Amino acid sequence: MRAKQYDAVVIGAGFSGLYMLHKLRERGLSVRVIEAADGVGGVWYWSRYPGAKCDSDSIFYNFTFSEELYKKWRWKDRYASQPEILEYLNFVADELELRSDIQFKTRVTEASFQEEEKTWKITTDTNEIIEAKYLISGMGCLSTTNIPPFEGVSLFQGEQYHTGRWPHEQVDFTGKRVVVIGNGSSGVQAMPEIAKEAKELTLLMRTPHYVGEARNHLLSKEQQDEAIANYKEIRDAFFTTPGGIRMFTTGKSATEFSAEQQKETLDYVWKTGALALGSAFPDIGVNKETNNVVAQYVRDKIDEIVEQPETAEQLHPDYYITTKRLIIGTNFYEMFNEDHVHIVSLKDNPIERIVENGVKLRNETIECDVIVYATGYEAMTGSLLKINLQGRNGQTIQEKWEKGRNVSTYLGLTMENFPNFFMITGPQSPSVLTNMPSAIEQHVDWIDQCIGYVESNGLQTIEAQQNAEIAWGKQCDDLANSTLFPQTNSWYTGANIDGTQRGFVIYVGGLDSYRKICDQVAERQYEGFTFEKAFQGIVKSSMQ
Ligand code: N01
């Protein structure tokens, strides 16, 4: 079979893939985006569970690279719902006329670097072979769903759904007994909606989490106009803030305030909503005292809201707040005051298996008609490890990363032995600690510039140097180890997936600092990279 040929193949048609396609096409390259779904949207195509919303203020949850595009769109809600975000991404695809270069219903199964031709040979599940000089992953960090390997899943006689692979048709919970496994962002958003219909709703909870208030509301015409008028400020936040988003902050440690002032500040955050529990006192991630002030505030709020003291106690989280992804919700704690909503702690009573009529725990069986797995994702590395990706000399990514236990990248963007391969929001970049569109724009812009450099210098390949990769890994580890993050087992550390424990693979220094580092690497003629030039052999940039 004759291979199709493109300059670049991009995997995934979510935020990352759409913008990457647009940039490379503007550069005059031929690009093919390969997408498994039958529409654009990435994770927002699949996560159709009830209550699914973003938790960044929606005015920041969009592209800012084009003022014209930004100003053509108006968000309806403070936090955009999944249907609205999907609508937005379809709008982007239409405005930029992207669809003709996207191949839907196709999954990349294998990609291997061809030493002689200096190209990537990409194989799909539709048995196509595509060759491209550049291969770019736009698969994101949270797209491969985690369904824990419970025994007996196929025996269950009722309905079963995963929040990250929700059916397109509305699921009717009316009069049904529903079990939800998991109370991360997805479970917390879905449960209050499911509780409105279900006869009984039981949360099977492994770890209680901190849930702040979202305070969603419709945006008024004035608020929409203001967002549009503030384009420059919004874009500025993408560049100059650690999270790529403007958040409320006092700019000081909680320890600099009296107990009354701390409470006043946190009352304000609770009343106004958003993820600001994590930003009100910027040392929350490094100072145990500050951390405990905010954590205790949430525990007190739980006691205030939840009427049954035993239930409130069960819901008390005890890890350092923000070391697992902070969650915001609507009516989450209030929901437990309803007679038909129950909570079962899995702490001393773990799930043993799924049975025909429900979930068998060590001490009891919870009978139900529907099981909702809100059990999250094989975060950070899952999607990349699913593809048989082979770099130089046939080295696979599974080998390089020791099946996810020893992740190693340069800047979270590239890897030694994998020339001309780029990751958008890959591990060891700021990714999930930021407003995702901000991180995506920065990565796509950098990759686009880098490809421009390779092309304009007549180079065949660009590849991370081993020493640059080692130094980057150390920088990421040192930064993470100066915070409280590694002290908690979480999906940040891969601890949610059996056997994937791997340390903390996110750059915690903030998107603003990270951007400066990436820009500096580019300004220094791609410091830390090696290039190959046709007929002239290998050219090394500095940092050798
Ligand atoms: O997944 P999660 P999620 N037995 O991994 C539990 C983004 N997101 O889909 O904490 C029993 O956070 C697990 O328990 P534990 C956002 O970045 C954003 O909710 O590991 N329970 C946990 O309670 C978010 O952080 C939005 O002990 C098991 C839950 O399942 C990320 O996606 C909306 C289990 C999984 O929580 C993931 O969120 C939704 C087992 N074997 C998602 N395995 C926005 O608002 C797992 N659990 C933008």
Q: Retrieve residue 60's tokens.
A: 């920041």
Q: What is the average pLDDT across 234-257?
A: 97
Q: Retrieve residue 118's tokens.
A: 């200096």
In this structure, what DSSP letter does residue 230 have? T
Round to whole Å and give the CA distance between 210 and 325. 9
- Helix%, strand%, coil% for the chain, nearest 5: 35, 20, 45
Q: Could you please report the per-residue DSSP string of 404-436?
A: GTS---BTTTB-TT-TTEEETT-TTSSGGGS-H
E-state strands within 67-155: 102-103, 108-114, 119-124, 129-137
Nearest-atom index, ligand 1, CA of 150: 41
Distance between Cα 193 and ligand 1 center (Å): 17
pLDDT tens by residue, 30-45: 999 999 999 999 999 9
- Closest to 374 measured CA to CA, from 183, 170, 158, 152: 183
Write out the H or E segment, with its range, that includes residue 451: helix 436-456
Give me the percent of the chain exceeding a pLDDT of 70: 97
pLDDT of residue 14 exceeding 80, the answer is yes
pLDDT band at 500 (very low <50, low <70, confident <90, very high): low
Ligand 1 contacts CB of residue 187 (under 6 A):
yes
Given a contact cutoff of 8 angstroms between Cβ atoms, the answer to whether 142 and 55 are in contact is no
pLDDT of residue 497 exceeding 70, the answer is no
pLDDT band at 142 (very low <50, low <70, confident <90, very high): confident
Specify the pLDDT at position 378: 78
3-state secondary structure of 106: coil
pLDDT of residue 540 exceeding 90, the answer is no
Nearest-atom index, ligand 1, CA of 181: 21
170-187 burial by CB neighbour count: b if 16+ within 10 A, else e? ebebeebbbbbbbbbbbb
Least confident of 120-134, 339-353, 380-394: 380-394
Distance between Cα 222 and ligand 1 center (Å): 35
Q: Could you please report the per-residue DSSP string of 279-301?
A: TSSGGGGT-HHHHHHHHHHHHHH
Which residue do the tokens 């205790």 mark?
296
Specify the pLDDT at position 502: 64
> Using CA positions, which residue lies closest to atom 36 of ligand 1?
184
Backbone angles phi, psi at 353, to 5 degrees: -170, 170
- Helices 436-456 and 15-26 pack at an angle, to 10 degrees, of 30
Round to whole Å and give the CA distance between 285 and 184. 19
Note if the pTM is more than 0.75. Answer: yes
Given a contact cutoff of 8 angstroms between Cβ atoms, the answer to whether 180 and 190 are in contact is yes
Number of Cβ within 10 Å of residue 289's Cβ equals 11
Sign of the Cα torsion 519, 524, 529, 533 reads positive
pLDDT of residue 544 exceeding 50, the answer is no
Q: Give residue 542's Cα distance to chain centre.
A: 33
Q: Retrieve residue 356's tokens.
A: 């025909």
Q: What is the average pLDDT across 165-180?
A: 96
Q: How far is CA 71 from CA 65, 96, 225, 304, in A?
A: 11, 14, 9, 42
Which of 43, 60, 185 most suits a substitution to test ligand 1, by most atoms within 8 Å of the C-beta?
185
Given a contact cutoff of 8 angstroms between Cβ atoms, the answer to whether 477 and 503 are in contact is yes
Which of 143, 179, 206 most suits a substitution to test ligand 1, by most atoms within 8 Å of the C-beta?
206
Amino acid making up residue 487: Q
pLDDT band at 534 (very low <50, low <70, confident <90, very high): confident
Q: What is the average pLDDT across 482-505?
A: 77
Q: What is the mean pLDDT of the chain?
A: 95
Write out the H or E segment, with its range, that includes residue 276: none
